Amino acid sequence: MKRTPKHKNAEYLMTGSLSRFVNNQNVAGYVFILPWVIGFFVFTIIPIFSSLYLSFTTYNLTSSPKWTGLQNYDRMFTDDPLFYKSIMVTLYYVVFAVPLKVGFALMVAFLLHRKSRAANLYRSVFYLPSLIGGSVAVSLVWKDIFSIHGAINSLLNIIGIKGVQWLGDPRYAIWTLIAMTVWQFGSSMIIFAAGLKQIPDMYYEAARIDGASRFQSFIYITLPALSPIIFFNLVMQMISGFMTFTQAFLITLGGPLDSTLFFALYLYRRAFAYFDMGYASSMAWVLLIIIAAVTALIFKSSKYWVYYESKEK
C-alpha cells in the first residue's frame, strides 16, 4: 500500500490515548455499525414496543391513547366480520399465488438453462415484469387490460370466447391479482438460474448414462439440489404475500364485495381512514403472529424435503 505523505502525517498525529481508543478493535467495529444501530432503535425497536402498547389502547391520534386491555383483540375475534374476511382473502391469495409464482419461476429457469446468448436475452425479458410490477403505472395498466372492454376480453372475443367481468365479479377479481403476482416471477427465476448453474454437469451425465429421461433427472437431481433455494423463495414470497397492499389498493380497492380485501389493505383503512390506531396496531400483531406461525411451519416441514449437500455425504 502506497501512503501519501499527508496520510503519514495524520497517522503520526493520532498516537495519543484518543487514537488508541478510536482504533481499538471493538470501538472501531461499533463506529462502523453505529448508523444501523441508531436506526434500529429509532425506527424498529421503539416502534415495535409502542405498537405493542398501542394494541392494548384506543387511540385516534388527537386525544392521548386510552388503555383498554384486551378489548381490541376481543372485538377482532368476536365482532368484526371484515377481520375474518380479510384473513381468509389473504390466506387464499398466499396459498395460490406463492406456490404458483415459485413453481413458474423454477420451470422457466429450467427451460432457459442453457449456455447461449439467446437464453440470457430471454431471461432479461422474463425479468422485466418483476422489475416494474410494483409500480403504480403497471397496476393502472393491469386495471385497464382486465376491465370489461379491455384488451383481454377483446382478444378472447376474437377467438370466440365471451369474456367475464374480471374485476367486477368476486369470483375472478382475486384471480386477476394472483395472475399479476405470478406474472412477476422474474426475480425468483433469476435466483433459481443462479442455483442451476451450481449443479455439476456430471450429475446429469451420470443420470443420462444410466438411462434417465430429462423429466427424471429434473425430479431426482434438479429438485433436491435446488430445494434450499426453493425453501428460501417460498419463505420470502410468503412474507411479502401476506403484506400485499399496493395492487389491491390501486386495482380493486378491496372490492367487489370485499373479495380482495387484503389484510394489509384493511389494516391501512382502519389506521388511516378511520384513525383507529389502537385497533390497527393489534391487527398488525395478529399479522406478525400469523406470519411467524406459517414461517415456523415451513421451517419444520423443511427437514422432510430440503436437502443440504453436507448432509448427503
Partner 1 sequence: METKLKNMFAPFLYHIFVVSFAFAMVYPVLWMIFGSFKTSTQILNESYKLLPSSFELNNYVSGWRGFGGISFSTFFKNSFFVTTIATLGVTISSAMVAYGFARIRFKGRKVIFACMMATLMLPSQILLIPQYILFQKLKWINTYKPLIVPSFFGSAFFIFMIMQFIQSLPKELDEAAIIDGCTRYGIFARIVLPLIGPAIITTVIINFYWKWDDFLGPLLYLSRPEKYTVSLAIKAFSDATSTTDYGAMFAMSTLSLLPVFFIFLFFNKYLIEGVSTTGLKG
Closest CA to 113 of 20, 167, 194: 194
In whole angstroms, how close is the CB of 221 to partner 1 at the nearest point? 10
CB nearer to partner 1: pick between 7 and 171: 7
What angle, 0 to 180 degrees and rounded to 10, lies between the N-to-C axes of helices 136-145 and 117-132? 90
In whole angstroms, how close is the CB of 305 to partner 1 at the nearest point? 18
In whole angstroms, how close is the CB of 93 to partner 1 at the nearest point? 15
CB of 152 closer than 8 Å to CB of 166:
yes
Task: Kindly state the cell numbers that stand for 72.
Answer: 381490541
In whole angstroms, how close is the CB of 175 to partner 1 at the nearest point? 16
CB nearer to partner 1: pick between 29 and 170: 29
CB nearer to partner 1: pick between 114 and 300: 114
CB nearer to partner 1: pick between 139 and 259: 139
In whole angstroms, how close is the CB of 257 to partner 1 at the nearest point? 22
Amino acid occupying residue 187: S
DSSP state, residue 65: P
| Coil/strand/helix, residue 57 | strand
Q: Which helix (H) or strand (E) holds 67?
A: strand 66-67
Amino acid occupying residue 172: Y
CB nearer to partner 1: pick between 92 and 243: 243
Terminal Cα-to-Cα distance of the chain (whole angstroms): 43
Which residue has 376480453 as its cell numbers? 153
